[in-house]
Amino acid sequence: MKSFLSVFSIFLLFSPVLALWPRPQKLTTGSTPLRLAPHFSIQFSDKKQNVPKDLQDAVRRTAQHLKDDKLQALVVDRGASSSAEVRSAKTLSSLTLAFNDASSSSKKVKSLSEDATAGIGNQDESYSLQVSEDGTAVLTANTALGLFRGLTTFGQLWYELDGETYTLQAPISIEDSPKYPYRGLMLDTSRNYFPVPDIKRTLDAMSWVKVNHLHWHVVDSQSFPLVVPGFEELSNNGAYSSDQVYTGKDVKDIVTYAAARGIDVLVEIDTPGHTSVIAKSHPEHIACPEASPWSQFANEPPAGQLRLASPATVNFTSGLIKSMTSMFPSPLFSTGGDEINANCYEKDDQTQSDLNASGQTLDEALASFVGATHEVVRGAGKTPVVWQEIPLEHNVPVGNDTIVMVWISSQHVGAVAEKGLRLIHAASDYFYLDCGGGGWVGNNINGNSWCDPFKTWQKAYSFDPLNGTTPDQEHLVLGGQQLIWTEQTGPSNLDSIVWPRAAASAELFWSGPGGDVKSALPRLHDVAYRFIERGVRAIPLQPRWCALRPGACDIDA
């Protein structure tokens, strides 16, 4: 019987009727219909326990989704053939939430937000969910964060038919926890500005598929929208306009909103490259500002890089980073380090003078620059994060605590692992959401995006996080993320560029590799349609005809 249940549960896991995303580590289901009672409620087992407010708020949001989601089953008749079964089904009156280790009512429970920002390796997202066929349901976890992940799963179990909220597959038993601790989405808010509500809507969507890190690439060469205490001139002179900025209040709002949804905000200030806009307020710190032709001085316009060999610029940058660390509670902080243009420095008299005075090569000066900025990051109690060029192309001797994002190619994972550094997958050949949109550089008729072709959800889903590592290096892989660079993305198309494609890596790094795209597609259709019910404008992956007929539009069908 045990083996039968195992096989049966795997079959049902990929059924369009039970479309959980990401797929749980362990799942068994039955075939008994069950519907939510009109008075259905979510309650805590210990009425006297001091339940964190953010977890109570999450419970209320879940209850509201259960009322507002009007998602019908993605089958041809949208569930109509099950109408009689649903009407006569037993009802579930409540979902009970309980902490596994709550030994007494007075025991203090950490908030969901505290759990979310505890740092990699310090988060417990595991949970157990049991829904019986006789109308009882219990969700247990060790932490508020675990209960929140379980609430997310519970909300995916149900469909609507004739005013009833139902499942056809009780009893349901789930034991779940993530395979990798880092599951992220990177958003660039410099090329184009995104209002706070757009970021919040993105955070909501991330939480619905258990993504737990927003990598916020907040500033770049094109604009500096972040209002940094003590450095307000950067945004005053570098933002697109005075109303296209993120104030300290905005940042606190976004960070708080994210944490209450199980998401940590990893901010990045890319240095020393990608900093041209700083010249608008501090020209003394920028080499080759807006130099022409830009293609000789930068990977994209406008050109301009921090004068990394200047002691004054190092001090300026260190001060800027120190102030930024106070704005973001995350244990992680990225100093960037990608696409440094050597020609820019070779043509900059000030940099050449500083190098000669110090007797350093460019890479040696870069190592000193990175060392100084990372000292500030660590001094704030945070772990530095860099792009792959810092340890690989420039051989900067970063500390062993440093986390490296591998972006140029997935083929470079092994080189980072050989240095004994922890890594996050962000490879352009799998995870860049902006690829394939055509060339954005003007006066270039036949131009295409540099990372063509378009990266489908299937491409991301097929990735093996351990590819390129040896067994003794596997612990260095922290997870991965999908990324949206926004040269051609703004508020008008943010949802459609990101969703539901970014859900692919959400499952990959929660559930682990080995998922089959054929079996996953019906569940991902479900994700997209449920997102739409909740106000996120996810794009169709196929014609609706295909979504209602799983497998009918496969290339081998």
Q: Which residues are known to be catalytic?
A: 339
Q: Which residues contact 230 (CB under 8 A, 6 or more apart)?
A: 319, 323
Tell me if the bond preceding 293 is cis, omega within 30° of 0. Answer: yes
CA 107 – CA 173 distance, rounded (Å): 28
Query: Does residue 24 contact residue 125 with C-beta atoms inside 8 Å?
Result: no
Q: Which residues of 185-217 are buried (b: 16+ CB within 10 A; e: fewer)?
A: bbbbbbbbbbeeebbebbbbbbbbbbbbbbbbb
CA 171 – CA 383 distance, rounded (Å): 44
CA 283 – CA 234 distance, rounded (Å): 11
Q: Pick the closest to residue 301 from 487, 494, 497 (CA basis).
A: 487
CA 305 – CA 20 distance, rounded (Å): 46
CA 355 – CA 505 distance, rounded (Å): 43
CA 409 – CA 412 distance, rounded (Å): 6
Q: Pick the closest to residue 264 from 95, 156, 122 (CA basis).
A: 122
CA 271 – CA 268 distance, rounded (Å): 9
Segments in 239-283 forming alpha helices (H) = 248-259
Q: Pick the closest to residue 324 from 336, 335, 313 (CA basis).
A: 335
Q: Which residues contact 160 (CB under 8 A, 6 or more apart)?
A: 69, 70, 71, 72, 166
Q: How many helices (H) and strands (E) does the chain have?
A: 20, 16
CA 144 – CA 263 distance, rounded (Å): 13
Backbone φ and ψ for 490, nearest 5 degrees, come out as -145, -170
Position 460, amino acid: A
